[in-house]
Each structure stands twice: as structure tokens, then as C-alpha cells.
Amino acid sequence: MIIFKATKDTLKDLNVKPVTIDQPVDAFFSWHVNFFKLYGKKHYVFMNDFSRLSLTVTGIRTNQANKLKEVFLNHLQAYFSVEQIPDALANSYLRECNEGGITKTDSRSVISTMNEMMLILNTVQSENDDLRDEDKRHQWINRSIYKPIDYKYPIDVFVKALENSFKNWG
């Protein structure tokens, strides 16, 4: 199960009421969501609670909560391909994301890291035109170190968790 933890503004933009999650959620399948303007377009930013892996995507408009999971998973699958994550691992993770829900944020640490990442992207957008390319942007931002993951790269933390979670799958 995948859970999207949306900020108050994001819930309002999507025009959705948050669901209450009764059971504990694995941080590896939990993603905080916010939106911001980048290169003059609205981008949704998704940040994994466990690894701080992040994606910034377009294609979700106001009042389109029903498209959130589909658009996110399509972009995540494409990013897995760019990072050359083995299909067995990528597909195992994506299979676990078959059900989902949208709830409220619950981690100031993740929100702070997400805000830092959005600030960095907003700051460098005028200097670095390469980051208009989504694949290059994702690779660049997921190779930034963050204190909550012991100054490691989010992509490395995420891939290691994938390998540990699905090493016997295939």
C-alpha cells in the first residue's frame, strides 16, 4: 500500500478530504506531497519518507486527486528505468503500490527536507537549464545529501532498501 501525505495546500488544490489511516504505514511506501512553481509550471513534488528520494512531476491539475497515484507511479517507473534499477526490484516495489490513499502530513523532518529541495531547485533554475529535463533533474536532486539520512544520497538509500526488501523476489 502506498500512502501520499499531502500538505494542507495540496489537499486544497486536489480538492480531496484526507483519509484516516488506521494501521502503521511503512515509511518506504509513504510519500509526502506538495506543489510549487518551477520553470513557470506547477510541479508536484513527492518525497519518500524513508529515503528522501524525490520526484518533481507535472501533469496533475487542480481537482485531479484521482490522477495523483497513476501519474506518480508512471513517473516513478520511468525514473527507475533512468537509474537502471533492475526490473525485478522495480516491479516488486510498484506491485506493492496497488492500493493507496491520501492523508495529512505527519513529519516535520520530511517537510523540511522537501522545502529545502524545492528552494534549491527554485534557486538554480535560472542558472541550470539542464534541469528542465525531468530525468536529469531527478538524478541531480537525488544525489544531494541530507542530514536525516546520515548525509547519504537518497537514491543510494532507496536502492539499498529495495534490495533488502525484495532480494528474494523476481
Interval 88-145: pLDDT, tens: 999 999 999 988 899 999 999 999 999 999 999 999 988 888 899 999 999 999 999 9
For residues 46 and 30, what is the distance between their CA atoms, to the nearest angstrom?
Answer: 10
Q: Collapse the DSSP code of 57 into the 3-class scheme (helix H, G, I; strand E, B; otherwise coil) and give the result.
A: strand
The C-alpha cell at 36 is 510549487
The string over 107-133, giving b where at least 16 C-beta atoms fall within 10 Å of a residue's C-beta and e elsewhere, is beebbebbeebbeebeeebeeeeebee
Residue 128 has what pLDDT? Answer: 80
**Whole-number pLDDT of residue 24:** 86
CA distance 10 to 23: 23
Identity of residue 74: N
- For range 10-19, the mean pLDDT: 95
C-alpha R_g of the chain: 15
Model confidence at 73: pLDDT above 60: yes
Instruction: Identify which has the larger pLDDT, 112 or 61.
Output: 112
Specify the pLDDT at position 61.
87
* pLDDT for the residue 126: 81
The predicted structure's pLDDT at residue 169: 54
Domain architecture of the chain: domains with CATH: 2-166 (3.30.420)
